[in-house]
Structure 1
């Protein structure tokens, strides 16, 4: 982590990194996160009894839309043509939904932020659609799982030692 941060210019002010000379390569990123809720909330989601509609279908679309609009929300992100965004859900059968997003491109810069924003937005949408019955939901453990492509190569998340 001793690398110099590249988002600062010679006056120590923010800048968008110049990626003009970088090579186009296939790149992907996978991110994950969880939302914890009351067990009856998960039951109502899986049974399709949430009044606002199909929670996971809406959350999935919102995550895809977020990935596509990352450059509009995160100031130093480049506008990246995405070639694929896929979001999957798993639940523990009790009180937690896990969302996983994979984002792909063939471009000069990576899609880690797009994958992370997709997860955050997906989980926030679940919260929004269910908040009338459960305001105590908690979003956590959002992180990059894996990324590949480009100069920095392959990264796989390693659980930190506590």
Structure 2
């Protein structure tokens, strides 16, 4: 008997920017992380790729940090636990810079940031060094699955 999943709608906004991942890759990554971390949820997740100036504006307006960043995730759930609604913003210029700094491909860094953002939507936090290390281990787990 086939298992029918609830409807999780995934939207990807690249806005004509040259991002080294296809929409189907983004959808696959989001689905994989959500299914393992949150189970069979319905809802909507948007993944939006932005240049430095735009992500800095979001960072300043909502988080009171006046600098560009690589990823921001907003959980939009009204009823936590019942549905999974959220937005993940990827700063692609920061991702490109970090990829060079970390010695990984731009594509791999984009994948890591998508995973990181979705983990936040699934309840993961990285506000302390132990939580950050634990979250990095989980990111690496999914990154290995995605890249293989």
The structure whose residues are more often strand, as a share, is: 1
Shared fold (TM-score greater than 0.5)?
A: no
TM-score (norm 2): 0.28
Choose between structure 1 and 2: higher helix proportion. 2
Q: Which has the larger radius of gyration?
A: 1
Considering Cα pairs closer than 8 Å and 6+ residues apart, tell me whether 1 or 2 has the greater RCO: 1
